[in-house]
Amino acid sequence: MSHYSDNDDAFKQMMEPGRLKLNNPAFETALMEKIMQAGARRVIQRRVLSYTAFAGGVIFLLVAVLLVKPVIPSLPAISIIHGQTLLLCLQQLGRAAMGVLPFIELFSALFIINWLIGSRLETA
């Protein structure tokens, strides 16, 4: 078992009766009840976060559309790279809405969209 003792197995065997058992049948049930409650709370928190992220995304897109509106006639001029990035960001927003995307990524997606719009406005 180890290199520093010569009689480890015998000692281990001797210690064995010192092993205690948690003799409370209600312990596991009570604990699992608390875990299930915590789990349910976690699901609710996650939904609230998802809906908040989704609502935030929708509001942002509305604002973005309003900002882009004046330059809509020049939209075909948007480069393919910008178009793809925009699609990627929208996809990220979708993921955020499903609650599978951390907030930090959501904000980075929003930041990129903001930058894209900014650059379009500057071009216009």
Partner 1 sequence: MERTYIKEILAGNASRFSYFVSKYKDMAYNIAWRITGNNEDAEEIVQDAFIKVYQSLKSFRHDSKFSTWLYKIVVNAALSKTRKPKQAFKEVEEQDLGAGHTAVETAYSALNAAEQKKYIGLALDELELEDKLLLTLYYLGENSIDEIHDITGISTDNIKMKLHRARKKMYALLHKKLKAEVHTLL
Q: Which residues bind partner 1 (CB under 8 A)?
A: 2, 4-5, 7, 10-12, 14-22, 24, 27-28, 30-32, 34-36, 38-40, 42-43
Nearer to partner 1, 45 or 52 (CB): 45
**Interatomic CA distance for residues 46 and 18, integer angstroms:** 44
- In whole angstroms, the minimum distance from the beta carbon of 2 to partner 1 comes to 7
Return the SS3 of 103.
Answer: helix
What tokens appear for 116 in the block? 């894209």
Min dist CB 28 to partner 1, Å, is 6
- DSSP structural state of residue 16: G
Closest separation in Å from C-beta 50 to partner 1: 13
Rounded to the nearest whole angstrom, what is the least distance from the CB of residue 18 to partner 1 in the complex?
4
Residues near 88 by beta carbon (within 8 Å), at least 6 away in sequence: 109
- Nearest CB to partner 1, comparing residues 38 and 80: 38
Q: Which of 4, 76 has the CB closer to partner 1? A: 4
Contacts of residue 78, Cβ cutoff 8 Å, sequence gap at least 6: 86, 120
Report how far residue 96's alpha carbon sits from residue 109's, in angstroms, rounded to the nearest whole number: 10
For partner 1, the closer of residues 5 and 84 by Cβ is 5
